[in-house]
Amino acid sequence: MVYTLDSIAAKLGMTNGKLMRLADAKQIVLKREGAGKFSFDTEDAINAKFLESRESR
């Protein structure tokens, strides 16, 4: 599926800034699929969400 950055961030329950930091750190791979559209690996997203919850403790 193809999403906007806003919709990916909303699905993961985080801000666009946090999403981009995770992408920069290579914890989530965002693949550009056209103008303003991206796809992402669901497993990466689940792992990043898990890491985020552990860091916040």
Whether residue 46 lies inside any domain: the answer is no
54 belongs to a structural domain: no
In the chain, the number of structural domains is 1
* 22 Cβ contact partners less than 8 Å away, ≥ 6 residues apart: 28, 48, 52
What residues make up the domain containing 24?
A: 1-35
Measured between alpha carbons, how far is 56 from 5 in angstroms, rounded to an integer?
Answer: 23
Q: Residue 57: inside a domain, yes or no?
A: no
Q: How far is CA 4 from the centre of its chain?
A: 11
Does 41 reside within a domain?
no
* Averaged pLDDT score across all residues of the chain: 80
42 lies in a domain?
no
pLDDT of residue 54: 58
Find the mean pLDDT for residues 4-21: 89
Alpha-carbon span 16 to 20, nearest angstrom: 6
Q: What is the pLDDT of residue 15?
A: 92
